[in-house]
A and B are shown apart, each in its own frame.
Chain A
Amino acid sequence: MKVWSPFSSGQMRVNRLAPRKASLAGLTIGVLDNSKPNAGVLLHRVAELLAARTGAAGVRGFSKPSAARPAEILDDIAKSAHVVLTGSAD
């Protein structure tokens, strides 16, 4: 028998990602901590190790108060860092 599919998906857009950097040397690595337990610990550790390995200028930390809400500080981050690490999950 013929039946209707219950699915109804929207169009899947594909946006352009920001061009990646050739190297991190001299750049500031931003970290956006989503306030999940230990998210900041892992993110900052990855950023520190990356900075040491690549000669990045430094690490700049940001946080959003709740993982359940979008960050409102994206413009600030874009102004003061060149690349950013962020996170999801528990």
Chain B
Amino acid sequence: MPSVVLGTDAFRSLAEATSAKHGLPHMPVALVPHPLGGIAAEVARAKADGILDEVLRGLTSDPQPPAATAAAGPTLVEAPEDLDAFQVWAMEQEWSDGLPVLPPTEARVAKILGRRAADELIATLMPLDGRATLHAIAVNAAMTGAGPEHLPVIVAALRAVARPEFNLNAIQCTTHPCTPLLIVNGPIATRLGIAGGPNALGNGHRANAVIGRAVRLVLENVGGARPGREDRATLGHPGKFTYCLAENEAQNPWEPLHVERGFKRDESTVTVCGSEPPHNVNDHGSSTAETMMAAIAGTAATTGSNNIYLAGDPLVILGPEHAATIAGSGWSKKDFKQRFWDLARVPLKKFSSENVERFKLTHPERFQDAGPETLLPFASNPEDVMVIVAGGPGKHSAIVPTFGATRSVTERIAD
């Protein structure tokens, strides 16, 4: 049926990209001046007059369809030989995340691919339905300085983000600051030197750096989430350069994440979560599981979190010393999840009345009968809270909220 899309001018590129992806690049789009959110309803209403002619034209006059374009296979291009000139050129081509990239020459890409079938399609990636073939993945990996040994982890992570429950299109295009966090489990972490100990989410680890960054470059160059255009992040976060760690299985008092999810301990997996940056939990004083919950649950229970109103499966990263204290009180991982879920709550009265009205509109089943004292949990149920152990010595843990309308996915690494 004849339709017109209404939006705001700040989001023109996303409206156009979304229409094109659905094979409708000629879809009529009518744009009012940004914003619509956070303004009085009368102000939003008044914006209607300015687009009336355009909307009527969109419903009553057939637009001309543009010509279709063929899929682009692997393409060799001529680039500057000089490395500094190459950087400038690569940025102009929009190939990079802003950090220097290495030239993806035929020899370097061939070395990463080895005997693998270059044209194997690993995933189709939103928002632009880009074709993540092994070849395209290897080209992007080569730009980060990854080696052939890193490719299986990168490939498994890309299979995982393409699964429907991950909701990649929304993760790639939202204004919320989220990006796939990669959690690696199993023997491959040690073999490749993927850090899960001191500074695991920080700098200093080649494998963490190149694996996370290669996934990001594929999402940008193949998926088509270009910052400020299809990727509409208001602020973004530093993990969008690279966001990868291993679980510290040696210091985990419970079963590691992949075993909890039905894999064998000697299998290797990567789990992807649509994650915010880590929010630190400092607790140097507590010596029991119960007393430590004040800091851990208190860090999670905040009014600005997507998980408080959209649920999803947010992550708790316990530092090994905090994990040892909690397990030392006799708690299983399940006990921890239950207690965390009981305590990590925000009373509805802490939200502005405008937000409460909005929650009632968007999620009537949860908020219709809620009063000021109603406590909102950080996830729908205790099982949805993800818990891993990572980091080195010290009294810190982290809460990693997610986009909310996404579920984490664990994929076996074929190596």
A-side residues, CB < 8 A to B, are 1-24, 30, 35-39, 41-43, 45-46, 49-50, 53-54, 65-66, 68-69, 77-78, 81-90
Q: Is there an interface contact between A17 and B361, defined as CB atoms closer than 8 Å?
A: no
Q: Is there an interface contact between A18 and B2, defined as CB atoms closer than 8 Å?
A: yes
- Select A66's contact among B10, B44, B358, B362, beta carbons within 8 Å: B362
Q: Is there an interface contact between A18 and B405, defined as CB atoms closer than 8 Å?
A: no
Q: Which residues of B contact A8 (CB under 8 A)?
A: 72-74, 130-133, 135-136, 221-222
Q: Which residues of A contact B51 (CB under 8 A)?
A: 46
Q: Which residues of B contact A22 (CB under 8 A)?
A: 60
CB distance from A66 to the nearest CB of B (A): 6
Tell whether B380 is near chain A: CB-to-CB under 8 Å: no
Q: Which residues of B contact A36 (CB under 8 A)?
A: 36-37
**Count class of interface residues, chain B:** 35 or more
Q: Is there an interface contact between A65 and B81, defined as CB atoms closer than 8 Å?
A: no
Whole-angstrom distance between the alpha carbons of A8 and B362 in the complex? 37
Q: Is there an interface contact between B60 and A23, defined as CB atoms closer than 8 Å?
A: yes
Q: Is there an interface contact between A20 and B60, defined as CB atoms closer than 8 Å?
A: yes
Tell me the total A-B contact number using a CB cutoff of 8 A. Answer: 233
B-side residues, CB < 8 A to A, are 1-8, 10-11, 14-15, 18, 20, 22-27, 32, 34-39, 41, 44-45, 47-49, 51-52, 55-56, 58-63, 65-81, 95, 103-106, 109, 124, 128-133, 135-136, 139-140, 142-143, 167, 170, 174-175, 217, 221-222, 224, 310, 358, 361-363, 403-405
**Nearest B-chain residue to A40, judged by Cβ:** B361
Q: Is there an interface contact between B8 and A89, defined as CB atoms closer than 8 Å?
A: yes
Q: Which residues of B contact A1 (CB under 8 A)?
A: 78-81, 103, 105
Q: Is there an interface contact between A49 and B68, defined as CB atoms closer than 8 Å?
A: no
- Select B104's contact among A4, A24, A54, beta carbons within 8 Å: A4
Q: Is there an interface contact between B67 and A14, defined as CB atoms closer than 8 Å?
A: yes
Given A3-B79, A4-B74: A90 and B66 interface contact (C-beta under 8 Å):
no
- Select A49's contact among B7, B49, B81, beta carbons within 8 Å: B49
Given A1-B81, A53-B56, A88-B15: A38 and B36 interface contact (C-beta under 8 Å):
yes
Task: In the A-B complex, list the 5 residue pairs whose CB atoms are closest, starting with the nearest.
Answer: A89-B11, A8-B136, A15-B23, A37-B37, A13-B23
